[in-house]
Amino acid sequence: MLSSLRIIFAGTPEFATQHLYTLFHYSRHKIIAVFTKPDSFSGRGKHLIMSSVKIFALEKKLPIFQPLSLNTSETIHQIAEFNPDIIVVVAYGLLIPKIILDLPKFGCINVHASLLPRWRGAAPIQRAIIAGDSETGISIIKMNSEIDSGDIIYQVRCNIFQNDTSKKLYDRLAYIGANALLEVLDNISKGNSMISHSQNEMLSTYAKKISKKEAKINWTLSAKQIVRYVRAFNPWPISFFTLNDKNMNIKVIDAQILSVNTSIRNRFSKPGTISATNEDGIQVVTGDGILNLTLLQQPGKKVVSAKDMLNSKKDWFIPGIILN
């Protein structure tokens, strides 16, 4: 039994920071080092951006390391010298070689935002929403050399609600994951046996990384599918369509499914066609059903209701216009 574990924490985005925050403030364990991805250039001005985890670690004066790769003799030696009891990995973004996985007394554990083996990979939250899953959760696994395929130590389930965006689900899972991590670490430090089980490879699915080009709305999909994309891509990369005559992309922040009106479908059969506009929104024909756009954003402008956009830009959204 150990009163306190010596922990190396490896993570990069805000999701990881919330776990690091909880470890730092609410556990008795000692964070001896923080590993995060190197600073990256972002935005039109190509400013150097620090990761959310690095910002927190700097504030708390935790030792920070940002190697380009963990598979170097220098990094392996650094980690070995720290003599960690365990390495905690949350959305780190770099592969961890087997030699490092085997260094700590209790190995390396990973907090993953899905019910593994479903949605292994980089974007489990978004892919679960896009697929129309009714639930997801947090999995804590003993890491091996394959991506998100280690034995499952602990799982917590979480419902996905109809109005959930990635941000809403992300926040719930971060809270659940951080508390689950505390429980797992406390059990390990107390010497309690954590019963694990292997993943069923037959049930595995892969959550590939989200790309900006996916955010362009495909009007041939059903209204139900498009709404899922809108929710999944909020807050990033945000779904959008193009006004052809303006050569302008309009972001869709929120949308709703409307029941199919056969007279509208007969009049406007091509997906992407604006079928009607009113104070409730802008109605667009899809491959199956009518989609009502309710919150929109022009480039460089604030988010507004469709009603407000129609008040100033009604000629942009005349029924019969085809959105791209």
Supply the DSSP string of 217-249, one letter for each residue. --TTSBHHHHHHHHHHTTTTT-EEEEETTTTEE
pLDDT at position 115: 98
Q: Are residues 181 and 81 in the same domain?
A: yes
Name the residue range of residue 286's domain: 214-317
Q: Are residues 40 and 152 in the same domain?
A: yes
Q: Are residues 202 and 263 in the same domain?
A: no
CA atoms of 244 and 179, how far apart (whole Å): 48
For the question of whether the overall pTM of this predicted structure is more than 0.85, the answer is yes
Q: How many domains does the chain have?
A: 2
pLDDT at position 269: 78
Mean pLDDT of the chain: 94
Token pair 């392996």: residue? 76
Q: Are residues 142 and 179 in the same domain?
A: yes
Residues with Cβ < 8 Å from 90, sequence gap 6 or more? 9, 10, 11, 15, 16, 19, 20, 110, 111, 177, 181
Task: Give the three-class secondary structure for 289.
Answer: coil
Residue 152 included in any domain? yes
Nearest to 114 by CA among 139, 89, 80: 139
Residue 322 included in any domain? no
Residue 323 included in any domain? no
Residue 1 included in any domain? no
Query: Where a domain ends, among 185, 207, 229?
Result: 207
The pLDDT tens digits for 147-178 are: 999 999 999 999 999 999 999 999 999 999 99
Q: Are residues 188 and 220 in the same domain?
A: no
- Here the CATH number for the domain that contains residue 267 is 3.10.25.10
Q: Are residues 63 and 104 in the same domain?
A: yes
pLDDT at position 194: 73
The pLDDT tens digits for 177-235 are: 999 999 999 999 998 877 899 999 999 999 999 999 999 999 999 999 999 999 999 99
Token pair 């009007």: residue? 219
Nearest to 119 by CA among 132, 128, 106: 128
Q: Are residues 132 and 22 in the same domain?
A: yes
Q: Are residues 188 and 221 in the same domain?
A: no
Residue 324 included in any domain? no
Q: Are residues 160 and 270 in the same domain?
A: no
Query: Where a domain ends, among 207, 224, 255?
Result: 207
In order of 17, 63, 255, the CA distances from 92 in angstroms are: 10, 16, 33
Q: Which positions of the chain have pLDDT values less than 70?
A: 1, 43-45, 259-268
pLDDT at position 266: 53
Q: Are residues 218 and 200 in the same domain?
A: no
Q: Which two tokens stand for residue 98?
A: 């087997």
Query: Where a domain ends, among 176, 207, 238?
Result: 207
Q: What is the dihedral of CA 115, 117, 122, 128, to 10 degrees?
A: -50
Q: Are residues 193 and 225 in the same domain?
A: no
DSSP letter assigned to residue 192:
-
- Here the CATH number for the domain that contains residue 48 is 3.40.50.170
